Amino acid sequence: MNHTICYISKAKEGLTDLEIQEIFTTTQTRNNAENIKGILLYGFGNFFQVLEGEKKIIEDLYLHKISEDKRHSDILTIINYHIKHPIFEAYSSEFNIVKTNNQLDTIKAYLNQNSLHHLSKNIQRMLNPFLL
Ligand SMILES: Cc1cc2nc3c(=O)[nH]c(=O)nc-3n(C[C@H](O)[C@H](O)[C@H](O)COP(=O)(O)O)c2cc1C
């Protein structure tokens, strides 16, 4: 649990609820099997994802699978670095999908710990809908 990657992306136009559900199911099953923690949210035509885990595992996943996935585009990496204190590991033993107030609090804690104030205004603005 020594690395985190966080990004926001634009869902492919016309992506159906069923297709989104498929992404959620694959993500949850595989990440739990690989001991990857974090969260995946879909809203307002965008995905927001946090991955926490072993550096090599999550970098491989991010670079070779997620970034190549045609079901989204305009992938913008917000955070990609070493962490001393994982947030999601402490919060839940599962990779999270469902959007609840509690999970949004965890996201706020994650972004605060990772110095959200250092991020550009543009990125903060893009994250706003997820944090309201
Ligand atoms: C927004 C988004 C997030 C995804 N997140 C993950 C993830 O965290 N873990 C994962 O295994 N696959 C994730 N996927 C799916 C992968 O891109 C890929 O389809 C899946 O890993 C199966 O790859 P494979 O059939 O080549 O083995 C995500 C896809 C999208 C569109």
Q: What is the DSSP letter of 116?
A: G
The Cα–Cα gap between 38 and 36 comes to 7
| Total tally of structural domains belonging to the chain | 1
For 54-69, what is each residue's pLDDT tens digit? 999 999 999 999 999 9
CATH of the domain at 115: 3.30.70.100
pLDDT higher than threshold 70 for residue 74: yes
Domain that holds residue 39: 3-131
pLDDT higher than threshold 60 for residue 99: no
126 vs 82, residue with greater confidence: 82
Q: Ligand 1 within 6 A of 31 CB? A: yes
Secondary structure of residue 86 in the 3-state scheme: coil
Q: Whose CA is nearest to atom 28 of ligand 1?
A: 66
41 sits in which H/E element: strand 37-43
